[in-house]
Structure 1
Amino acid sequence: MTDESWAGWYRDRQGSEAMILTTDGQQLRIRIRGVDFEGESFDGLAPSSGRPPEDGAFALADGALTDCVLEWDLPLPVVSDGTAHQATLSCLLSLRRADADLHLELHLGGAVFSSRRAEPDFATALETIQRILPPGVRLQTCIACAFSDYFPAPGRGLSGGLACFRGAKDAYRGAAGEDDVVGLWDRRTGFVQEIWSCREFEPRPAEGAGTGHRGAFPLELA
């Protein structure tokens, strides 16, 4: 995977700082006030040195950034009636509570499609946006891909816990339930960010084989 860099802002009690967030789809890296942070999830960004800054310039919880707000934009591919387009996804993440609050806005063709104000994770927020997109418009990111799934267990993290099975495509195409995914788990290529997209993307089937443990994207609301 090739690194991508997304511009944005970091805010805490000491003020605001421009930031560049870099990712290869798996590991996130960010530099704030001369300090490098990295992690696999947006709520798990810890000092790269493994040691907290000595001057107390940042609030940390369990070694990771907290009591702050991250805001950034990234290009996000969508497909409209079979034609590829580039949209922009605006992300606003508050880490000022015990549970992160996430808000996403997709800017496409002059229109804005928003998630709820305080989503619990990227998967839920992207599902919210997909449901309100016009017919024929589909997100083209890892969460919507035919080869991604979560481990069959209660709960999921804010981001980065989505397993990619692009190295076992044919086997995953037949996966349709928890047992199938558990049996394939050791064949996963790795973990990816829900907002990432790669050249091997294929749309997720709506039902049946190939929907794995987590089902279609988006899941039908009861």
Structure 2
Amino acid sequence: MIRVVVADDQELVRAGFAMILAAQDDIDVVAEVGDGAMAVGAVAEHQPDVLLLDIRMPVMDGLEAARRVCATSDTKVIMLTTFDQDDYVYDALYAGASGFLLKDVRRDDLVHAVRVVAAGESLLAPSVTRRLIADLTAARRPATPSSATGSERLTALTEREREILALLGRGLSNPEIAATLVVSEHTVKTHVSKVLAKLGLRDRAQAVIAAYETGLIAAGGV
């Protein structure tokens, strides 16, 4: 069962998302809250698998709430917003979020997003990932979680792990990576886990960013 907390300051939006998710046999909505501080508290109390979190909220905004949740728990965060702006997506990913949705998301896509993120995958579609991360890392390149330079970070990886990271950066799924490298999906999952651990990354979304920040993939060249 996937345990979910829904955090949004608009009661109707919050209730609507909660109702859609609670109707699924494999999802349990354990709390609904109306601001970022309450979201952080609900995560501490209920330890959900996924936090559905609005970016703009009173008391504490969603980005700060995401940073605190991701720093102190294993809960995966999906950010919600009515604003389709790249900066929000970028900041959300750097806050530690595993996914990003606009509030006009379709019912089926919302449910799919929760399941995908709960399973440890990133939410952004490959085409969105390539365009967004290439454009933004080329323009902004903030400090990475590691103090090491890009080349120094890559020395921690084996040649095969670098291949895996590059394919992650291009937005490929595990089955696509397996087909490209002619290995099993289990082998791919093992390599992905090692890449994340060695680079100190939370999930695949951050691995995509790391592929560009380390220079493994040239921004805008995908």
Flag whether TM exceeds 0.5 (same fold): no
Q: Is the helix fraction higher in 1 or 2?
A: 2
Superposition TM-score, scaled by structure 1 size: 0.31
Which is strand-richer, 1 or 2?
1
Q: TM-score, normalised by structure 2?
A: 0.31
